[in-house]
Amino acid sequence: MPTTDYRQGVEMLYLGRIDLLPLTGFLSEASAWRQGYDGARLRPVVHIEDLAQPLWAVFSRGTDPALVEMAELKESGYVADQMRIHRDNWQSRACAQ
């Protein structure tokens, strides 16, 4: 079933209109809670490890080229720090709403 936004998919899942939704665990659970549904009811059924590993970043054309160098970001510890911050935030706030 095509949707224009993953939030539509979350709603359709909880309304019983679809059975599976291709989202990461983080995005699906957080979206469910944010939309007023019980995110704890979600269960992963297909694990695609290769797609779960990369870190994605999007930059505007005006971004300083030095910032875009992912190798430099990794070496500086920035990537690890950001992942830790977001993981800690997720653990402490995901279901607070």
Q: Give the closest residue to 78 by CA, choosing from 65, 69, 89, 91.
A: 69
Q: 35 or 89, which is more confident?
A: 35
Q: What is the pLDDT of residue 76?
A: 82
Q: What is the pLDDT of residue 96?
A: 47
Inform me whether the pLDDT recorded for 79 exceeds 70: yes
pLDDT in tens, 48-74: 665 555 556 667 788 787 777 766 777
Q: 1 or 39, which is more confident?
A: 39
Angle between helices 25-34 and 6-14 (to 10 degrees): 70
Q: What is the pLDDT of residue 57?
A: 64
Domain range summary for the chain, segments of one domain joined by +: 1-50, 55-97
